[in-house]
Amino acid sequence: MSAFESLSPTIQDHVRQIAKTSGLPADQESVERLAAAWLQKKEAFEQAIVENGLEEASFFDAAESGGALALTYSGSLVTIGPLVGDARHCGYASIGLRTDVPESATEDASELEADIETDRPAVFTRGPVKSTSPIYKIAVAVEKMEPDEEEAMLTQVTQAVAEDFVKVNRTVIR
C-alpha cells in the first residue's frame, strides 16, 4: 500500500490540495511524496507528545486555563498558550510548502472564538490566523503548570516539531 493510500480519505483530500499550491509538479509522484511527508510529520508530532509529557485530547475548551498544541489535517501546527487574563499567546506554523497561507504567524492577545475539536477548524476572534484547516490531533499538558512555564514548554515543543517538519520537507519532498 502506498503512503497516499494509507491516509484517510479526508487527509488524502488535504494532501491533494497541498499538492496544488506547493509548487511541486502536478503529478501522482508529488502527491505520494507529500503523503509520505504527512505521515512522517504526524509521527514527529506524536513522538513530541510522548517525550514532553503531553496527552492527546479530542476537545479543548476555549475557557480552559491551560494551553494546547494542535496538528491540522493539512499538517500545520497551532500553539494555544495558557490563558493569562482574557487572552492567550497563540502561534500558527504552516508546513512550509503552501503558498496560500502564511508560513508562520503569532498573536500575543489571541482569543478563541469557540472550543477546539478534532475534525473541525480552530477559529479565532483574534489570533495568528482567522481559522485553520480542521484539527487532526490536540495535545495538552498532563500536569498542571504555571502559565509562563507552560508557555515556554509549548513554545519549545512547537519549535522542535517545526524543525522536524523542515527536515522532512528537505529529505522527502525536495
What is residue 7's predicted lDDT score, i.e. its pLDDT? 95
* Inter-axis angle of helices 28-51 and 9-21, nearest 10: 120
What is residue 103's predicted lDDT score, i.e. its pLDDT? 66
- Domain with 127, as residue range(s), is 1-174
10-residue stretch averages of pLDDT, the chain, 174 residues long: 94 89 85 93 96 96 96 93 93 69 80 97 95 96 94 95 89 72
What is residue 174's predicted lDDT score, i.e. its pLDDT? 62
What is residue 101's predicted lDDT score, i.e. its pLDDT? 52
What is residue 26's predicted lDDT score, i.e. its pLDDT? 79
Coil/strand/helix, residue 108: strand
Q: How many domains does the chain have?
A: 1
What is residue 95's predicted lDDT score, i.e. its pLDDT? 64
Q: What's the Cα-to-Cα distance from 109 to each of 14, 23, 88, 93, rounded to whole Å?
A: 29, 33, 5, 17
What is residue 111's predicted lDDT score, i.e. its pLDDT? 95
C-alpha cell at 150: 507552560
Which residues lie across from 161 on neighbouring strands? none
The type of residue at 148 is D
**CA triplet 27, 168, 66: central angle to 5 degrees?**
120
The pLDDT tens digits of the residues spanning 47-78 come to 999 999 999 999 999 999 999 999 999 889 99
**Could you tell me which of 104, 99, 93 has the C-alpha nearest to residue 20?**
99
Q: Are 132 and 93 in contact (CB under 8 A)?
A: no
Eight-state DSSP code of residue 94:
-
Dist CA 65 CA 77 (whole Å): 20
What is residue 171's predicted lDDT score, i.e. its pLDDT? 84
Contacts of 30 (CB under 8 A, 6+ apart): 19, 22, 24
Which residues lie across from 13 on neighbouring strands? none
